[in-house]
Structure 1
Amino acid sequence: MPVDGTFEKVVGALSYDPETQVCHIDLRMEVSSLKVGSALLRTAMLSGLMLDSDDHPSMRFAGDCQPKITNNKLETLLVGKLTMRGQTHPLTFKVKMHFSRNTLTEISSSATFDQRQWGLSTMLGTVQPLVQAETSIILK
């Protein structure tokens, strides 16, 4: 069964060069601010078997946009590292940049990763190891 979750406390910085379409993103998420469908599920996800919010109260993603042309189409990747549960591993997002005229208004991205790489439990196979992460940064 799919589970949707959101971190309500996220801080960070974004720099973007419109000429080269290169960006740098550095985000920190407060693990205990995770919101999911039920209190029971939230408790399990924050436990030592999963995100371990007591010993690892924050997560961090830092990376750089890397635009490239593929089949005559601009494709941007956000290549960086995710730190979760005290472990840091590479993670690459596919990025879509949304513009209003010539102004960048939103950067949305998605990636799929195996949570076991960061030491999260699958709770004896009851939890799908692959996680799809989606981000949306709205610029004002």
Structure 2
Amino acid sequence: MIRSLLLAGFACGALALSAVPAIAAPETLQLTPGNMLAQTHSSAILFTITGTYRQLAGTLNFDPVAKTCAVDVTFQTRSLALPNAIVRGQVMSKGFLDPDQYPTTSYKGTCTDNGTVLAGNLTMHGQTHPFDMKVTYRMDGNTLVGLDTAGTLDRYNWGLNGLQMMVGKMIKVTNDISLNGKPPTPAS
């Protein structure tokens, strides 16, 4: 009888342990264009211009349980793909991004506010200023499959003073990072 109770107790304990979800360990992800979709969205006279960085490299360290992260990523300025040659010529001009003088843009930040804000510094056009973005976690069932960030910057703070009559002052920045090996897709 005691043996039966011990076996029953052991079986219940084993069942209870198997119901506890596995704790995800902190991870490091090498950021590439294959798993990070980095875009800028600028308002022009009648439409929005979206640019997509085609060359980037960096790391994302994250702990999905603790909701902590650290990102360090560098973008090749000249790799910003734009809708057409006219727009590209203007954006790459000396009065705007000027990749000949400023070949890279970089961002370093950490998650704050229980993982809901990515707070950091953006270096662009030779100037570094604080730049924070909202963090959204993409789930597929109970599995974390992506991190998305979005923020808006005042381009004049970074010395992007050109094209004042054609491009709005505020630029939205979005980053969609895939954690499941599938290509990233823009957040909806």
- Cα separation, 2, equivalents of 1:103 and 1:16: 14
Alignment of 1:132 onto 2:172: yes
Aligned to 1:72: none
Pick one of 30, 33, 41 that aligns with 2:76: 30
Stretches of structure 1 that go unaligned for 5 or more consecutive residues are: 69-74
CA contact (8 A) 1:21 1:67 kept: no
Alignment of 1:111 onto 2:157: no
From the two aligned structures, give the one with the greater strand fraction: 1
Deviation at 1:66, TM superposition (A): 1.2
CA contact (8 A) 1:11 1:27 kept: yes
Which deviates more, 101-110 or 35-44?
101-110
Alignment of 1:95 onto 2:141: no
Aligned to 1:82: 122
- Cα separation, 2, equivalents of 1:23 and 1:42: 33
Stretches of structure 2 that go unaligned for 5 or more consecutive residues are: 1-46, 182-188
Q: TM-score scaled to structure 1, two decimals?
A: 0.89
CA contact (8 A) 1:122 1:128 kept: no
- Cα separation, 2, equivalents of 1:37 and 1:123: 16
Which structure has the greater CA radius of gyration? 2
Deviation at 1:58, TM superposition (A): 0.5
Deviation at 1:127, TM superposition (A): 1.4
* 1:65-120: CA deviation from partner (whole Å, max 9, x where unpaired): 1134xxxxxx6000011000110000010110113344421111110110010000
Which deviates more, 120-129 or 9-18?
120-129
Higher RCO, Cα 8 Å, sep 6+:
2
CA distance 1:46–1:100, shift in 2 (3 Å): same
- Cα separation, 1, equivalents of 2:113 and 2:145: 17
- Cα separation, 2, equivalents of 1:13 and 1:100: 23
From the two aligned structures, give the one with the greater helix fraction: 2
Aligned to 1:6: 52
- Cα separation, 1, equivalents of 2:116 and 2:125: 28
- Cα separation, 1, equivalents of 2:72 and 2:126: 17
CA distance 1:3–1:95, shift in 2 (3 Å): same
Q: What does 1:14-53 correspond to in 2, within 5 Å?
A: 14-53=60-99
Which deviates more, 5-14 or 94-103?
94-103
Aligned to 2:163: 123
Q: Which amino acid aligns with 2:76?
A: E
- Cα separation, 1, equivalents of 2:142 and 2:170: 36
Deviation at 1:122, TM superposition (A): 4.1
- Cα separation, 2, equivalents of 1:101 and 1:14: 23
